[in-house]
Structure 1
Amino acid sequence: MEHLRLHLPLLPAAGEVTTFYSYKGGVGRTMALANLGHLLAQRRAAPVLLVDWDLEAPGLHYYFPAAPEAPGVLDLFEACRDQLQERAGRYASEQALAEAVLDAVRWEQYLVKACEDRPLWLLRAGRCDGSHAERAAMMDWQGLFDACPALFRTLAARLARHFGHVLIDARSGRADCAAICTTLLPTRLVLVFTPNRQNLDGLQDLVARATGYRSCHEDEQRQLLVYPLPSRIDRSDLAQSELWRRGQGGYQPLFEDMLAEAYGLPWLSLEAYFNAVQLPHCASLAYGESLPAVALQPGYDAFMQWFREGLCPWQRLPSAVSAALNNHHAFPLEQQRAGYWRMPAVI
């Protein structure tokens, strides 16, 4: 397979950069990203890029065994670090410095085709050789940001000019690289979680930090659309499942309050969204990395309807799709898209 060539055409409109994040591991985040990327590329409307930014535990490449070995995210940003050191003090603005650095490192050379039968590309975590773990531990992400705050958003903008969807598999937890993936890069943020307190508390803090940063920094006034994605829901115990969804401290009221505050809405309902969007626990998916596995998980199809159309999770689906999903919930007009486009005012 060939590496991406410099002549990859520009899209008529910028694509979406989406980070898949889970506060804890083991929730099926990478599997969800790989399968959704596979389905998006099947439409062939525009190329799709998958990015493995989980440098400590890379796993995305296992879903695409035909993708060649190649340098990846770690190697790309090591090259950026070297270029920043070489070019320090030579540019009038951080934006100009970021553009020059990305031109110099030729970011396109780090991308490889993930499979042959659809326009799907992969940016691996790295070569994952004997030095990878040590080099990943030594990477100073905060230092990169301090040297050029525009670097990450400029890279995201460049990727979006060539790919309809850029899906980033972020590291779990609170590491600096996770903050970059959730706060600086995306236009969309998919929060994959299982219903337990460890997952939910971590996500609540993350959304507050990400949306707060976007609204309070002049250079970061960009849209950020948040999708909660409940995963590995055990439907064998319906009473317990219902309690974790709607009970005191349940994930539905938590996300309703969280998103209403983030987008400056007096209230919103995720009733119809969570009725349709739940990825059930499926024991057969615990073995191997198969594509596509979504046929076994009906919640994927529902999630794709919201995600593909760019709808907020509190918006109603088009009537035909809604009927197909047995979703007849009505929403008041004030819960439509307006809340998403209007970030909280800068104080």
Structure 2
Amino acid sequence: MPGSVFTFYSYKGGVGRSFTLANVAVLLARWGHRVLCLDWDLEAPGLGDYFRLRLPGKPRGGVVDLVADFRAGRFAPEAHVMRLRKAGALDFIAAGREEPGYVRQVQEIDWEGLYDEGFGEYLEKCRGQWTNDYDFVLIDSRTGISDIGSICTAHLPDHLVVLFTANQQSIRGATELAGRADAARNLLPFDRSRLTVLPILSRFDNREEYGRSEEWRKTVVAATAELYRAWLDQGVAPETMSRHLTLPYVSYWSFGEQLPVLLEKTPSADQIGFALETVAAVIACRLDRTDLLAENRDAYVAAVRTSRQEFRHELRVSIPRGAVGPAGELVAELKKLNVGVVKSLSGDRSLLARAEDDARHLCLVVDGKVSRWQAAEVELFLHRTLGQDRRVIPILTAGTEAAGLPGYVGNLRYLRFGARGAAGVARDLVAQLRGGTPPAGDDSDLAALLARVRASRLRPPRWDLVGELLTDLQAAVEAGDDPRANELAADLAVAAKARSPHGDGHQAALPETRRSIDRLLRTLARTAAKPNHRKDLG
């Protein structure tokens, strides 16, 4: 997936825009993302001051040198990148060289003329390289209304992070800018989706004047509610999200250029690092899954924090005590297939504590019902799956009915111990985890069979094809041990009798044959319609 560009903007200075960007960048890089920061506040650059102690030296070039490169016919935006020390994959492009000629270099730039000469296409090419090389590109834009501001707020970003304080001028400037940026974006000759805006209430002190702060919060929510409409989950109120996207005023961090996220390792709710983590998590999720944030902020952030971690095991197999035998055989077969697997036996508290973070996927062996212990395992695991390719795969023992399982398990695609034994289940499980060839009776086979049945329903009916199709369908059902097997088998028996050229009730049974095929079609259509949530036929 290509990277996303976030521009940080404020209508007025002094709202902590560069401070917020720098801390968010450090968090994203710490969480395993590739991050590029650009200081596009060319007239008053300052983002580099937050990174000063981790930069390898003074900038050799920067944003203004992109203009020089364009005029010289060069394309090498990577030449101006500096990698921060001991900060993960965090790169920085300064505004320019720190030398006396920098100011003149900025003053001589005619942005409108540059665009007439084709600089927009050149910048678009730079943007393409950045989004290819990085997960997140964070741009620090200058304040106010300007040509540079238009580049940063309309041309380059996918998302706009608008910071403002609790006063009418700051709020109005931020919301009006968002509207102008969206309008300017529509005039661009480049393919862009609608600009989404993340409003951040900054330097907000609700500890000294709680009553007044709540009144101002209502004012802020009313003014910014429309900005949430394009991305906020419908079940989440703007007021709820506004509280999550508020940076408190903490006087200690108002002195100098500091990175509290490096010092507040496990920040509490009253520390600014806590709020910065929330903002960084929303950005890491690209403004998605806000329903989970509203439900449980700590779980939301923790899931993002561990989304790029390396797991010790590929699969954890949760084993109820009534299924130790078949589950143990399954683990042995998985090891033969070179799967890094670890067992979790119900009752082992030390393993329960690690259920969410030491294995990428969770295999839930269900014997009759999901035990309370397994329910706790699933809950812990699901709290760590946000934005990750991590799956819960149930495997049902013989006699376990899927219809009786709770929704969070019953709606998942499952496998079942059957005639194929543990070895067959292990092969099917590996195919799911590693994207290999699906087992017999899986979605692709059923979809093909369904297409053949539909294709056979011509006018007049081609009953000569019914026998072949029903045989194939029966084979798909019998390949597994699905609880619908009896129902489908009964339909097949009626249809088989009806199609027999020697059957006594052949002519009378033709309507029943049609009804049988219709039932099969409906069953298989339900099966094939939702492949991600389909109950497996094996």
Normalized against structure 2, the TM-score is what? 0.50
The verdict on how the C-alpha distance between 1:139 and 1:55 changes in structure 2, with shifts beyond 3 A counting, is same
Q: What is the CA-CA distance between 1:272 and the residue it aligns to? A: 1.4
Distance in 1 (CA, whole Å) between partners of 2:125 and 2:252 is 40
Amino acid at match of 1:144: L
- Say if 2:280 is the partner of 1:310: no
| Correspondence 1:49-198 to 2 at 5 A | 49-65=36-52, 66-67=54-55, 68-69=57-58, 70-83=60-73, 104-148=74-118, 149-198=120-169
Structure 1 counterpart of 2:240: 272
Structure 2 counterpart of 1:243: 215
The verdict on how the C-alpha distance between 1:319 and 1:240 changes in structure 2, with shifts beyond 3 A counting, is closer
Q: What is the CA-CA distance between 1:71 and the residue it aligns to? A: 0.8
Structure 1 counterpart of 2:334: none
How much is the aligned-residue C-alpha RMSD, in angstroms?
A: 2.7
**For structure 1, which runs of at least 5 residues remain unmatched after alignment?**
1-12, 84-103, 326-347
Distance in 2 (CA, whole Å) between partners of 1:164 and 1:266 is 27
Distance in 2 (CA, whole Å) between partners of 1:162 and 1:73 is 17
Distance in 2 (CA, whole Å) between partners of 1:14 and 1:205 is 29
Distance in 1 (CA, whole Å) between partners of 2:214 and 2:166 is 10
Structure 1 counterpart of 2:19: 31
Amino acid at match of 1:276: H
What are the superposed Cα offsets for residues 257-280 of structure 1, whole Å, 9 maximum, x if unpaired?
A: 3454x78x9998312111222111
Q: What is the CA-CA distance between 1:119 and the residue it aligns to? A: 1.1
Distance in 2 (CA, whole Å) between partners of 1:136 and 1:156 is 21
What are the superposed Cα offsets for residues 32-73 of structure 1, whole Å, 9 maximum, x if unpaired?
A: 0000000100022x3211111111111111112231212101
Distance in 2 (CA, whole Å) between partners of 1:323 and 1:114 is 28
Q: What is the CA-CA distance between 1:323 and the residue it aligns to? A: 6.7
Distance in 1 (CA, whole Å) between partners of 2:288 and 2:254 is 30
User: Helix, strand or coil: the match of 2:203?
Assistant: coil
The more displaced of 203-212 and 289-298 is 289-298
Distance in 1 (CA, whole Å) between partners of 2:134 and 2:51 is 18
Q: What is the CA-CA distance between 1:208 and the residue it aligns to? A: 0.9
Identity within the alignment, %:
32
Structure 1 counterpart of 2:35: 48
**For structure 2, which runs of at least 5 residues remain unmatched after alignment?**
301-538
Q: What is the CA-CA distance between 1:300 and the residue it aligns to? A: 1.6
Contact 2:201 2:247 (C-alpha < 8 Å) held by counterparts: yes
User: Helix, strand or coil: the match of 1:55?
Assistant: coil
> Whose RCO is larger (CA < 8 A, sep 6+)?
1
Larger Rg belongs to: 2
Distance in 1 (CA, whole Å) between partners of 2:129 and 2:61 is 19
Distance in 2 (CA, whole Å) between partners of 1:319 and 1:237 is 25
Contact 1:14 1:160 (C-alpha < 8 Å) held by counterparts: yes
Q: Which of residues 313, 317, 321 in structure 1 aligns to 2:296?
A: 321
Amino acid at match of 1:73: V
What are the superposed Cα offsets for residues 287-336 of structure 1, whole Å, 9 maximum, x if unpaired?
A: 222223464312222223322112259x42257634758xxxxxxxxxxx
The verdict on how the C-alpha distance between 1:119 and 1:266 changes in structure 2, with shifts beyond 3 A counting, is closer
Contact 2:12 2:143 (C-alpha < 8 Å) held by counterparts: yes
Q: Which of residues 220, 223, 230 in structure 2 aligns to 1:254?
A: 223
